[in-house]
Amino acid sequence: STYQSASGASSCAVCTKGAYCPVGSTTPVPCPAGTVGSTEGLDHAEECKTCPLGYWSTDGSAHCLECGGSSAYCDVPGLDTPKLVDQGYISTPADGDPSTRTGQAPCPEGAWCSAGILVFCEKGYYADKLPPEQRTSQATCLPCPAFSTTAVLGASHITQCMCTEGHHSHEGFCDDCKSVPGTGCSD
C-alpha cells in the first residue's frame, strides 16, 4: 500500500517496513508493539506479524528482537518487552539458546541461581530445601562436615557428604581411623 506524504503531492510513497498504510492515509501507522511489519506496502494492522515465543518488539518494528540473555524470557507470542526471571529462578529451556528463552523454573536443590543462571554447589558442599527465592548466592551451598566431601557437584543433602579416605563415619561425624580401633579402616 502507499500513502500521500504531503498535501498536494503528485505521487504516493510505498508504506515503509514496520508500518501499515490504510487507504487514504497521509502517514504510515506503526505496527503495534509485539508485532512487526517485515515487508513494505502493508495496508492493514492485521498484516503485521506477531512475534513468536522467545522474541519481542516495540512499536514500528520491522524485525522481532531476541528476548535477551539468561536473565530474561518471552513466554507468550506478541510481547512488547521481555520478562525478567524471578529471583531464585532460571530461564528455560536451560539447554536452549539463552537469547530466546521461553519460561522460568525454580532453582533446583544442590545449586544456587542468579540472573537466570544455574550454578551447582562445588564438591564438598551441598544445598538443601531452601525455597528458590533464598537460593541466590554461593552462600546457599553449605560445607560438608570436617573430613568429608561429596562425590559429585550439586549435592542436595548432607547425607551425600561421605568421609574422606582415612576417616570413618561414627555418630554422624567423620573420625580418624586410627582414633577408634576395630573400625576396619585401612591404616
What tens digit of pLDDT does each residue of 108-166 get?
Answer: 999 999 999 999 999 999 998 889 999 999 999 999 999 999 999 999 999 999 999 88
Average pLDDT over residues 15-24: 92
Helix-then-strand count for the chain, H and E:
0, 20
| Residue 187 pLDDT class (50, 70, 90 cuts) | very low
Please state, in angstroms and as integers, the Cα–Cα distance from residue 23 to each residue in 7, 10, 43, 48, 84, following that order: 15, 16, 7, 16, 40
Contacts of 123 (CB under 8 A, 6+ apart): 149, 150, 151, 152, 153, 155
pTM for the full model? 0.79
- pLDDT top residue among 89 and 186: 89
Question: Among 145, 136, 94, 142, which residue's Cα sits nearest to residue 122?
Answer: 142
What gap in Å lies between CA 177 and CA 113, rounded to an integer? 38
At 32-68, the pLDDT tens digits run 999 999 999 999 999 999 999 999 999 999 999 999 9
pLDDT at 24: 83
What is the pLDDT at residue 183? Answer: 54
CA count, 13 A, side-chain hemisphere, 129: 0
How far apart, in whole angstroms, are the C-alpha atoms of residue 107 and residue 109?
A: 7
Across 14-33, average pLDDT: 92
- Distance CA(102)–CA(25), nearest Å, equals 37
- Side chain identity, residue 149: T
* DSSP result, 93-160: STTS-GGG--EEEEPPTTEEEETBEEEEPPTTEE--S--GGG--SGGGSEEPPTTEE-SSSSB-SGGG
Tell which residue, 94, 99, 47, has the closest CA to residue 68: 99
Rounded mean pLDDT, 21-36: 93
Cβ–Cβ under 8 Å, residues 106 and 91: no
